[in-house]
Amino acid sequence: MRMKNDTLLVSRIILLGDRKAFNQLVEFYQSPIRRFFLNLTNGDEELSKDLAQETFIKAWLNISSFRAASQFSTWLYRIAYNSFYDHARSKKNASNFESIENINKEIYTESTNRDINMDFTRALAILKEDERVIMLLYYMEDLTIDKISKIMAYPSGTIKSHLYRGKKKIADYLKDSGYDR
């Protein structure tokens, strides 16, 4: 039902320039897209809002490129995924910070050296960027492997491998942190 509704709204946008139809899509997808970014940005609400806004602006500007070969949500998450990586690349190019992997290793080391309570954000920080995105799309956004494959333009086998490695890393992290009760 959601897919039919999305397709109808997209048709109204493309054919009639119907802003109200686009607003309906934004209202429905705004919370999941913000939650996706909130998890990717380690809880940075302002950045999450900015990236979500950028995603919807790009969606509005490129709505005519949407092909109903996939669901609208898959197309929108692909834009969100690209927006996050564009931001990460520009941040990396603008300043000479260490790579995300090195930062993740430091967070992992700090958190295991200090005996602190582990939260979901800290556990995700030990993962490589692709593993984190896939874990979030699969577990937090409840997307299928096929949808994630389309969003990230990776083969399904690669998605499954990243899920397996991500789960193993988090399980090992929890075990090392004393959460294996």
DSSP code per residue over 29-93: HHHHHHHHHHHHTTT-HHHHHHHHHHHHHHHHHTGGG--TTS-HHHHHHHHHHHHHHHHHHHHHH
Judge contact between 116 and 138, C-beta under 8 A: no
- Whether 44 shows a pLDDT value over 70: the answer reads yes
Query: Which residues have C-beta within 8 Å of that of residue 66, sequence separation ≥ 6?
Result: 10, 14, 72, 75
d(CA 1, CA 5): 6
For a pLDDT cut of 90, what percent of the chain falls above it? 45
pLDDT band at 113 (very low <50, low <70, confident <90, very high): very low
User: What is residue 181's three-state secondary structure?
Assistant: coil
For a pLDDT cut of 70, what percent of the chain falls above it? 80
Judge contact between 163 and 156, C-beta under 8 A: no
Please tell me the predicted confidence (pLDDT) of residue 77: 94
Q: Which residue has the higher pLDDT, 117 or 154?
A: 154
Q: Which residue has the higher pLDDT, 39 or 165?
A: 165
Q: Helix %, strand %, coil % for the chain, to 5?
A: 80, 0, 20
Least confident of 74-83, 105-114, 165-174: 105-114
pTM beyond 0.75: no
**Residue 117, Cβ neighbours under 10 Å: how many?**
8
- H/E element, 107: helix 100-113
d(CA 46, CA 159): 29
Q: How far are the Cα atoms of 12, 28, 84, 139 from residue 171, in angstroms, in the given order?
A: 46, 33, 26, 15
